[in-house]
Amino acid sequence: MTILTVKRLLDDCIEKQVSDLYFLPCQQVYQLRYRDATGLHDWHVLKAEQAQRFCNQLKFQAQMAISETRRPQLGSQQYSYQQVPVFLRLSTVGNFQNAESLVVRFIYSVQEAFHFIFPSQLQQLQQLALKRGLLVFSGPTGSGKTTSLYRLAESLGHDQVVMTIEDPVEIYQPHFLQLQVNDQAGMTYQSLLKVGLRQRPDIFIIGEIRDENTAAVAARAALSGHLVLSTVHAQSALRVRQRLQDLGLRETILANCLTAVCYQRLLPLTHGGLAALCDIVTPTGHTSQWSQLLERAVQTHQITKATASAFAAG
């Protein structure tokens, strides 16, 4: 396959707002699949030779070793689509039959992202952010958590110094100081936070609270008087607090640092496209409003009753 074919495929992915593109070996062929905000989709079936040429071209552009098809490799490149930069992050590994798989992650700028079903929810988050402390976004993979916290940080004004500590960087924002964790190089969450505190940013973005170490880092930054925006995987807004406790944060710490929790999903709109619906819970409001928010979105003709039923469980 030619470079033009690779370009056409990448352009199609960006037009679809694909988050991940998969080249998956399956017997004598490769399955080409993609993930977007609505889930995982089958796309094309390629002959093994065609798929390998495709993978080689992408690996070459990402400065990866083309001859290595068994050991894991990571690579990245900046791609231009209609003069807008999109960052691509590549990951390859060979299976037990030495057939290589490739995943391409698309990292968009926040300007290309979705909007909120109810703009007042962004305004509510902006008001909560003025209190500083830890503001946690939650939701399943592909629900726009990282995009929301970037948008919130941007909306707080250009007079704010924003530093991100991520593993890896998910969204490119040239006005932020973006640091990427690299454990092998000694750039851990803890060491980057120590450096970050000396840089005196107004806002910290910590990509994901995924273990006890990152939970401790997020709490430490929040207790130091900064606004800290982060994400965590939980099935509802009310379960985020329990999830943080499971990750080692005592209730006394959460009482002093947790400002609010925002659980969100991307919902298909009646007129097409996607928008974020948020369930925002503060320490003084321990009840979820998810069902009421869905009903309100139906009544304002932004989503259908079928969509509300499909997302009733969160």
For 126-139, the pLDDT digits (tens) are 999 999 999 999 99
Nearest CA to 151 out of 297, 77, 262, 241 is that of 262
Q: What is the mean pLDDT of the chain?
A: 88
Query: For 274-293, how does the pLDDT look when each residue is reduced to its tens digit (9 = 90+)?
Result: 889 999 998 765 566 888 88
State the Cα–Cα distance between residues 232 and 271, nearest whole angstrom: 31
- Range(s) for CATH 3.40.50.300 in the chain? 111-310
Q: What is the pLDDT of residues 57-101, one digit of tens each?
A: 999 999 899 999 999 998 888 899 998 889 898 999 999 888 999
> If you search the block for the tokens 């008087």, which residue do you land on?
225
Q: Mind listing the pLDDT tens digit for each residue in 229-288?
A: 999 998 888 899 999 999 999 999 999 999 999 999 988 888 877 889 999 998 765 566
Q: Give yes or no for residue 1 having a pLDDT over 70.
A: no
CATH number of 111-310: 3.40.50.300
Radius of gyration for the chain, computed over Cα atoms and rounded to the nearest angstrom: 21
Tell me how far apart the alpha carbons of residues 57 and 212 are, in angstroms, rounded to a whole number: 39
pLDDT for 290 equals 84
For residue 233, how many other CB atoms are within 10 A of its CB? 15
Q: Is 314 helix (H, G, I), strand (E, B) or coil?
A: coil
The candidate with the shortest Cα–Cα distance to 90, out of 106, 103, 107, is 103
Instruction: Indicate the fold that domain 3-108 takes in CATH.
Output: Beta-Lactamase (3.30.450)
Residue limits of CATH 3.30.450.90 in the chain: 3-108
Q: Let me know: does 262 contact 148? Beta carbons within 8 Å.
A: yes
pTM reported for the whole predicted model: 0.76
Q: How far is the C-alpha of 289 from the C-alpha of 234, rounded, in Å? A: 16
Q: Residue 4 pLDDT more than 60?
A: no
pLDDT > 70? residue 113: no
